[in-house]
Amino acid sequence: MGGDLGPRSVVPACVRFLTRFPQAELQLFGPRSQLQSLLINQPPAFRERMEVVDCEQVISQSCNPVHALRHMRESSMARALQSVGDGTCAAMVTSGNTGALLALGRSILGTVEGVRRPALGKSLPTADGSCFLLDLGANIDCSAEDLVQFARMGVEAQRVFSGRESLTVALLNIGAEEHKGTEEIRRAGRLLGSDPSMNYVGFVEGHDIFAGVVDVVVCNGLMGNVAMKSAEGVIRLIGQKTFTIDKKAPIKRFFGQLAIKLLRKWRAQLEPGRYNGASFLGLEGNVIKSHGGASSEAFYRALLTARECAIADLAQRLGKSMALQAQQQTGCD
């Protein structure tokens, strides 16, 4: 309910999801009257697999997280989180307020033992595979210990999304040299470098994220959010330029037409909506954050991510991994 388009983008995405996965069932949280008006034209077979959970309270994008935590416990977001907490649902997806989601998620679901700060992360396309980037905006100020913890969670998540066990890890920085960056980033580098369980390769810069030189890139939420949205902006600009070729001078249009099919193919492959859906790692449940302005196509992609996390039970897997690492560290101490 909290996204820019609200259920207008969610309901069509749900129908498409149920069409692809005949065994899946969904719960939709929000005002019954508003949701039913969008569902009434859907075939009965789909309506039977989409249970509407009536929630009159809705958290807006402008809602203060503290207010949401204290006064919005019956909201659609809170009750969806509770459905994950009590095991009714295997995962949840929302385009709503990120701060409220974090506050309510920590309160309702709790955090994995040993995790101080949950982090947002997602797998992004690279030249020859994918790279998992975190944090994408949940934590602005991070200590070196936070960044190390993000790295451990990111590795476990990327194992699920990539299917590979041996993964390299890097810290996002303003340069690859060891003396670059803040004291906390440099200290995080030293901590990761001394951890035998991490295949740490050093610092990388923003352009390295999509070059495929590393499997997991770790940073604070400010750097990660700016990096991701800057890349999305460039991709959209390329798409806009591709469709203006016909307006150019004849010679430019001639050469442009030679490349337009390839450009359009690349644009389709890299369209940000195709990679919508970031995992809230560190919560005791599978929670997927969609873009606030997600289209129906983008929300559908977030549902696919949620399904992947549910099948792998990423939250539980991450919890076991963090507990094992804690035991190993205690043994070394």
Domain boundaries in the chain?
1-115+282-333
Beta bridge partners of 119: 281
pTM recorded for the entire structure: 0.87
Q: What would the pLDDT profile of 72-131 be if each residue is shown by its tens digit? A: 999 999 999 999 999 999 999 999 999 999 999 999 999 998 899 999 999 988 888 899
CA-closest candidate to residue 160, choices 326, 321, 14: 321
Q: How far apart are the first and last CA of the chain?
A: 48
- Is the pLDDT at 306 greater than 70, yes or no? yes
Token output for 26:
């969904």
Token output for 30:
């929000």
CA distance 178 to 174: 11
CATH 3.40.50.300 for the 1-115+282-333 domain, yes or no: no
- Is the pLDDT at 253 greater than 60, yes or no? no
pLDDT grade, residue 268 (50/70/90)?
Answer: low
Q: What would the pLDDT profile of 177-212 be if each residue is shown by its tens digit? A: 989 999 999 999 999 999 998 999 999 999 999 888
Alpha helices in the chain, H assignment, sequence order: 7-20, 32-39, 44-47, 65-71, 76-85, 98-108, 144-162, 183-193, 221-242, 250-270, 296-312, 314-332
